Structure 1
Amino acid sequence: MTEPARPLAELIVLPSAVAPAAATAAEQKRAFLRMMSHELRTPLNSILGFSEILAGELYGPLGAPQYKEYAEIVRDSGLKLLELINQLLELARLEGGLNELEPRREPVACAVEDVVEQLRAESRVAFHPPKRPIAALADPRALRSALCNLVGNALAATSEDRQVRISARAGRARVEIEVCDAGAPVHPDDLPRLLRPFEKPEAGEAGAGRGTLSLALPTAALLCQAMGGDLTLSSPSAGGLVATVRLPAA
């Protein structure tokens, strides 16, 4: 016996029926990220706080000098882990389209100076501001996060006796910020790999020494895209990596 034809209305999934499901999935992602952020950072705060007390011998000498050294290792390892967690959460938010940005007129020099101060790298960064102040149309937090990833990545690739160079310039519709490190050159064919997350470069390969899981550059690229801009990489034959951020001019 042939099954009677079903009404067309029953065969069509209307957008209004899909929207609540999509909204629920997005909210579940937000809740998961909030939970992960809290659950991962809470124990790390204790590790970092108590290791800082021990390393600084706040309540008196620890005794054997090795204890102070070990406390410093614990603190530094905790800071690296916290940085990785922050990058993972940022990457998850960006890939899920969950970042709520509020673009506004943001002075480029102020953003760069804030990042350099945050990284405590004043002596290792040479910033060449433009002759006249320029501003980008960007979300303040996202811009600083992108620059923090780029500058931190550049510092990791640059030896202590050399400097990272930052410059900025404005065109008619775009603002460009360049972050140049003094590390080893990267072959042009290998540059795209640096923008792909979760690829751990081996010694001698593209990006070796530029981050444990190469999350800094992919995260910065996604942040730039979310603000209506982009990030491109180049590597001069003389060496180093040049990361160029292009954002709408304010």
Structure 2
Amino acid sequence: MAHEANSSPGAQSRAQGRIEAALEEQKRSFLRMVSHELRTPLNSILGFSEILTAELYGPLGSPQYKEYAEIIHASGQKLLKLVNQVLEIARLEGRTIDFDSAHEALEPALDDVLTGLKPELTARGVTVEVDGRGALPTVTADSRGLRSVLTQLVHNAVAFSPEGGCIHVSAERVDDAVDIHIRDEGEGVDPAELQRLMAPFEQGENALTRKAEGAGLGLPIADLTCKAMGGRLKLTSAEGEGLTATVRLPAG
């Protein structure tokens, strides 16, 4: 009788739940370990190369040494960004990120993103026009997740924009959801390539990695984050007509 009770559907379901919980915790522990092991040496590389670049403890001698230190520091920053993106995708795909959804005002989130991306916008002379300022809708989303999605998409629009171009941002309520549109004035993308842009670790070059430095992981991160928050990301484009990213999130 005891054996039959232990093998009941309820007992099996609880056992399966415990196994899945243990596996999730193993994933989290592994990602924490990998994150620590990768970031620790990178922090040393960045810190010491910055000290050398600033010649904090005295001149290095040959000007080439300072130039090499600057190259090391810049390379370390690029590598740290890539590591962070890869770990972010691993967390999202492994569902090891806990999102706490609440009502989030879109305008302050967008302001935070534009402030953070000001150096990139200034470097390319790109401006951002936000339609309906003062009356943008509220969404239901995780605060950090919302800002991550907007950052990835605006950064992507900067990469696709011509120098001196303009990025257009708008939002509208659609039934019980809010659609956020981010459109650049770039050359556009062949519609056949759009799906590849959102595929993590797609082999070979795609339209984004040809236009900008980096591995082109921003759009996959935005896509996975949208899904984790109960939303979706859609790309539309045609050659010569720019690229539009549309985020749909539950209304607040």
1:67–1:182 CA distance, 2 compared to 1 (3 A): farther
TM-score, normalised by the number of residues in structure 1: 0.85
Query: 3-state DSSP class of the match of 1:113?
Result: helix
Q: CA RMSD in A?
A: 2.4
Per-residue deviation, 1:53: 2.5
Query: 3-state DSSP class of the match of 1:242?
Result: strand
Give per-residue Cα distances to partners, 1:88-144, cap 9 Å, x unaligned. 111111111221111112121211221222233353341414241422111011111
Aligned to 1:120: 118
Within the alignment, does 1:142 sit opposite 2:140 as a pair? no
Given that 1:154 and 1:210 are in contact with CA atoms closer than 8 Å, whether structure 2 keeps it comes out as no
The structure that is helix-richer by fraction is 2
Range moving further from structure 2, 144-153 or 76-85: 144-153
Given that 1:168 and 1:175 are in contact with CA atoms closer than 8 Å, whether structure 2 keeps it comes out as no
1:18–1:227 CA distance, 2 compared to 1 (3 A): same
Aligned to 1:31: 29
Per-residue deviation, 1:174: 2.3
1:120–1:49 CA distance, 2 compared to 1 (3 A): farther
Unmatched 5+ residue regions in structure 1?
Answer: 1-6
Query: 3-state DSSP class of the match of 1:234?
Result: strand
1:15–1:152 CA distance, 2 compared to 1 (3 A): same
| Alignment size in residue pairs | 241
Report the Cα distance in structure 2 between the residues aligned to 1:156 and 1:59, rounded to whole angstroms.
38
Report the Cα distance in structure 2 between the residues aligned to 1:8 and 1:58, rounded to whole angstroms.
73
Within the alignment, does 1:151 sit opposite 2:149 as a pair? no
Aligned to 1:4: none
1:74 to 62, 69, 72: 72
Aligned to 2:224: 222
Report the Cα distance in structure 2 between the residues aligned to 1:51 and 1:140, rounded to whole angstroms.
34
Per-residue deviation, 1:188: 0.8
Per-residue deviation, 1:166: 4.1
Within-5 A mapping of 1:43-192: 43-121=41-119, 122-123=121-122, 124-131=126-133, 132-159=135-162, 161-163=163-165, 165-171=167-173, 172-192=175-195
Given that 2:233 and 2:247 are in contact with CA atoms closer than 8 Å, whether structure 1 keeps it comes out as yes
Which amino acid letter does the alignment assign opposite residue 119 of structure 1?
L
1:72–1:223 CA distance, 2 compared to 1 (3 A): same
Aligned to 1:206: 207
Aligned to 2:244: 242
Which amino acid letter does the alignment assign opposite residue 150 of structure 2?
L
Which amino acid letter does the alignment assign opposite residue 24 of structure 2?
A
Aligned to 1:232: 234
Which 4+ stretches in 1 moved above 6 angstroms? 7-13
Aligned to 1:40: 38
Unmatched 5+ residue regions in structure 2?
Answer: none
Query: 3-state DSSP class of the match of 2:69?
Result: helix
Query: 3-state DSSP class of the match of 1:41?
Result: helix
Which amino acid letter does the alignment assign opposite residue 39 of structure 2?
R
Query: 3-state DSSP class of the match of 2:92?
Result: helix
